[in-house]
Chains A and B, each alone.
Chain A
Amino acid sequence: MIQELKEMIIERLSMYRKQSKCLPDRVFVYRDGVSEVRHPAKFMSRTD
């Protein structure tokens, strides 16, 4: 897995905010190796 995922996601959100002047309402993650219990639908999230 990705060890410094947290730091990298924060970097990406910061870059998004720099370019778009706001944070996203939702984030889609494309990745591999998703197990049954951790279904991709769970990755959808809102900031508000």
Chain B
Amino acid sequence: MIRYACNPPGVNADSIVNRGLPILGLTSQSLSTTVNGFNISISTDMAVIPARELPPPRISYRIGAPNVSNGSWNILDVKFHRGGTVASWWVLVVRDGPGSIINDPNDPQLVNLCKGFTAKCERSGMKVSAPPRILAAPLLPPSQDPTRSGSIDRIRQTIKKNLDDDKGKKPSFILVLLSHVDNFIYPGIKRLGDVELRIQTVHMLLTKVLKDPKKQDQYFSNVALKLNTKLGGINHMLEAEAMKWLTSKKTMIVGMDVTHPGPTSVPGTPSIAAVVASVDDTFVQFPASVRVQKTKTEVRDIIDLQIESYQNVYYR
């Protein structure tokens, strides 16, 4: 659906005017006699609405202020506003069947990957105190473990054993290296880290990160952005001038949405609702509240709640 529906505006406009109108019988040639009888005609020109394009605000880094164009900018040689600190980190190599790419802790590909990513993080302004500990988790083949719950348990036991060895001291994050995309392994590890063990996880797909050495720098940059935010750092901010209005009063920015089960979901799968909000004048961190809820039940809207909510917090 999305692939069919999502087109550039020009393509859609052309489709509406040059294909849609004739198909619907709304051109002057094809307009039905009934409509003609009422002396009604339909213009084939779209309404023109004047618009203006606002200049993008500048993005600022501690060092470097790249030019923004079409919503994107180059981050290859910038320093984060506030670099996070990596006190310790682990690399978990997920070995999943014959397609497993790294099978030896001394594999030069693995050694270079760790070195390269460390160098990128440090160049971006993060502190990485030590080289990583390398863990490996061999998974069960999907034929024996169709929902991969046994494989997730192997990963769980691998991480737990290492936590026990360290008397429960957690690493700043675990870098998980996957050989290929799997519908159960990635969400399984995310859940393990976020919900169960409360350890930050960052994933890389080995087929992508090892494929093209020229693109590796860009790949590392993108993962470093993610990691720095997870460690409580600040990647970039809008320049002060652009922040002026937002910071002129204490402002909280809220985002909210609901995901509903898809057509292939198990019947009874709940919808998931989430609300995120900023917590200070940097607008960098947006911690979340999440709930599962019954599908397609419209209960209350924010407009009904807003004043009540404020009063609750105010008088608490």
Q: B45 in the interface, Cβ–Cβ < 8 Å?
A: no
A31-48 CB mask vs B (1 if < 8 Å, else 0) is 110000010001101010
Interface size class of A (residues with CB under 8 A): 35 or more
**With A15-B287, A28-B252 as given contacts, are A2 and B309 in contact (CB-CB < 8 Å)?**
no
> Could you say which residues of chain B place their CB within 8 Å of the CB of A28?
251-254
Q: B43 in the interface, Cβ–Cβ < 8 Å?
A: no
In the bound complex, CA of A4 to CA of B277 (Å): 15
Binds A, one of B107-115, B156-164, B178-186, B299-307: B299-307
Binds A, one of B7-15, B191-199, B290-298: B290-298
Query: In the complex the two chains form, is B273's CB within 8 Å of A20's CB?
Result: no
Binds A, one of B58-66, B95-103, B255-263: B255-263
Query: In the complex the two chains form, is B294's CB within 8 Å of A3's CB?
Result: yes
Smallest CB-CB separation from B291: which chain A residue?
A4
Min Cβ gap A22→B in Å is 6
Q: Which parts of B71-112 form the interface with A (CB within 8 Å)? A: none
Smallest CB-CB separation from A21: which chain B residue?
B280
Query: In the complex the two chains form, is B297's CB within 8 Å of A3's CB?
Result: yes
A2-16 CB mask vs B (1 if < 8 Å, else 0) is 111111111111111
Query: In the complex the two chains form, is A27's CB within 8 Å of B301's CB?
Result: no
In the bound complex, CA of A16 to CA of B252 (Å): 8
Query: In the complex the two chains form, is B273's CB within 8 Å of A12's CB?
Result: no
**With A25-B249, A27-B252, A29-B254 as given contacts, are A9 and B278 in contact (CB-CB < 8 Å)?**
no
Interface residue ranges, A against B (CB under 8 Å): 1-20, 22-32, 38, 42-43, 45, 47
